[in-house]
Structure 1
Amino acid sequence: MANSYTYTEAFEELQIIVAEIETGKVNVDELSEKIKRASQLIAVCKAKLTATEAEVEKLLAELTEQLPQSDSALSAEE
């Protein structure tokens, strides 16, 4: 399921469900299913945020590793 939705799609659907619950548009019979679906969407969003955070940290680590080499190369040119 996590791969079939973008973060934006999952978040937008989650917002709709929350709005329906807050406004009382969900009857008692549907409430359990709506909450179950919201839980699934939260899991999708969390997985995507975690994956994005890991990717950003990896990229920042790579940049940090390259930075000292760039600084020493600049110093050698001067």
Structure 2
Amino acid sequence: MENLEQFSYDQAMKRIEEIVAMLEQDDRGIDELAALVKEASTLVKTCKRKLKTTEEDIARAFEEE
């Protein structure tokens, strides 16, 4: 598995959508479900971090003007 924290925001969102679709299929074993949920959790944290960083960058850009 790739380093999930290195995904771009768009890559992470796409993968989260794929995971949600897989979870909705109801044909996963408990081990696979656990792994998918853990992966999704990491991706959500990555997205939140990227959004926060972007928000801070934008705020700094406007402060410099």
TM-score by length of structure 2 reads: 0.82
Find the counterpart in structure 2 of residue 54 from structure 1.
56
Q: Which protein has the bigger helix share?
A: 1
What is the RMSD computed on CA atoms of the aligned residues? 1.4
Higher relative contact order (CA 8 A, sep 6+): 2
**Structure 1: how far apart are the matches of 2:27 and 2:20?**
10
Larger radius of gyration: 1
Mark the runs of 5 or more structure 2 residues left unpaired by the alignment: none
Percentage of matched positions with identical amino acids: 32
**Structure 2: how far apart are the matches of 1:11 and 1:29?**
23
Mark the runs of 5 or more structure 1 residues left unpaired by the alignment: 64-78
Q: What number of residue pairs does the alignment pair up?
A: 62
Matching of residues 1-78 of structure 1 within 5 Å: 1=3, 2=5, 4-63=6-65
Q: One-letter code of the match for 1:49?
A: L
Residue by residue over 1:27-65, the C-alpha shift from the partner in whole angstroms, topping out at 9 and shown as x without a partner, is 3231100000001101110111010000001111122xx
**Structure 2: how far apart are the matches of 1:46 and 1:38?**
12
TM-score by length of structure 1 reads: 0.70
